[in-house]
Amino acid sequence: MLARWLPAAINTRPAEWSRAAIGMALGTLLSVWACAQVFGMEVALHLLGPLGASAVLLFAVSSGALAQPWSIIGSYLCAGIVALLVARVLGRTLGSACLAAGMTVILICWLRCLHPPAGGLAMTLVLADPASIALGWQELGAVMLGAGALLGCALAYNNATRTRYPKGLPVPSPVVVGSSAPVIDPEVTAADLKLALAEMEQFYDVQPSELEQLIHAAQGHARRRSIGEVLSRRA
């Protein structure tokens, strides 16, 4: 039972850690600087926490669904609108900040732009500093400027350092037709998946054992589908 509390081994090299760390630092610096040029340093520093959290996802786990462009842009927009509305109607209290975060999570799940820092951003905007409060609805512009600058930096830096971003749609494998004998693939194990993840040298927010369970479940569904197709042809 205690073994469950131990962290899993990271399947990336120190070079990837350094690449992500440099990108995260540069991206956060650029986004805060751009926001400060337009809305002032006090407003920009108030957004530093959410932007820094987003930078970790965009540079360190850029292959994940939570780090894609629509995730950050859509979630920041939702968090900004919800937070400003809640603050105007219910005031700027701890309870209204938590309510804004919860409403933001529901909205970004519905719009398929789940991005964890958006919850913190909603709380940050409700419990804002005086300079941000004075902006009114213009605070939404500061939020989107910071998110846009961070995304632009992630697009440039990740691709310049040979990390494809954003993640493209998977390319279907070619189907081999006319084979004389059926090819039986060996069972994929967690060890095989761990080696494959190590070869890709990127952070993936999933454990090899979870991938193994997913593959075996998909294989079971594929077998049942194949049997159903055969029985329907014979009927």
Burial of 48 (0-12, 13-18, 19+ CB in 10 A): middle
**What's residue 211's pLDDT?**
63
Q: What confidence tens digit (pLDDT) does each residue in 118-147 have? A: 999 999 999 999 999 999 999 999 999 999
Domain-wise residue ranges, the chain: 13-160, 190-234
> pTM higher than 0.85 for the full model?
no
Cα Rg for the chain, rounded, in angstroms? Answer: 23
- CA 129 to chain centroid, in Å, comes to 27
What does the pLDDT read at residue 6? Answer: 76
Task: Determine the average pLDDT of the residues in 205-209.
Answer: 58
Q: What is the pLDDT of residues 35-91, one digit of tens each?
A: 999 999 999 999 999 999 999 999 999 988 899 999 999 999 999 999 999 999 999
Q: Which candidate, 64, 88, 35, 84, places its Cα nearest to that of 167?
A: 64
The secondary structure of the chain in percent helix, strand, coil, rounded to multiples of 5, reads 70, 0, 30
Determine the Cα–Cα distance for residues 80 and 125; give it in Å rounded to an integer.
Answer: 7
pLDDT band at 212; cut points 50, 70, 90: low
